[in-house]
């Protein structure tokens, strides 16, 4: 399924939803795909997660270029428009 997708949209959900999001998000960080990962932040559901991303950057556990991989919007059409403008970060091959 991951191979067939052009991107990943995450709706509000529980731990399984977060696990699936972070799997795709991590795969993007290590260069397994260059597809957008979007959080549909309905009623500000993902605000605590967004704050956690900022905290991870402050604590040097997440690079800013990877934070930009998480595309966030409150409306589906806005999220999909952002997908069209998505440019994946440059990944260093070791």
Task: Please give the pLDDT value at position 3.
Answer: 86
pLDDT mean across residues, the chain: 94
CB 19 within 8 A of CB 1: no
pLDDT tens by residue, 8-38 = 999 999 999 999 999 999 999 999 999 999 9
9 pairs with which residues across the strands?
38
Q: pTM of the predicted model, to two decimals?
A: 0.88
Is pLDDT at 59 greater than 60 in this prediction?
Answer: yes
Least Cα distance to 38 among 66, 4, 76 occurs for 76
CATH 2.40.50.140 fits 8-84, yes or no: no
Least Cα distance to 39 among 30, 31, 51, 29 occurs for 51
Is pLDDT at 1 greater than 80 in this prediction?
Answer: no
Task: Report residue 12: phi and psi, to 5°.
Answer: -55, 140
């Amino acid at each position: 399924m991951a191979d067939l997708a052009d991107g990943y949209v995450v709706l509000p959900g529980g731990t399984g939803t977060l696990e699936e999001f972070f799997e795709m998000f991590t795969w993007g960080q290590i260069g397994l795909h260059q597809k957008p990962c979007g959080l549909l932040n309905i009623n500000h559901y993902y605000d605590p997660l967004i704050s956690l991303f900022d905290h991870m950057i402050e604590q040097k556990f997440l690079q800013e270029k990877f934070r930009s991989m998480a595309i966030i919007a409150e409306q589906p059409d806005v999220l999909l428009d952002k997908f069209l403008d998505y440019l994946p970060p440059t990944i260093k091959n070791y």
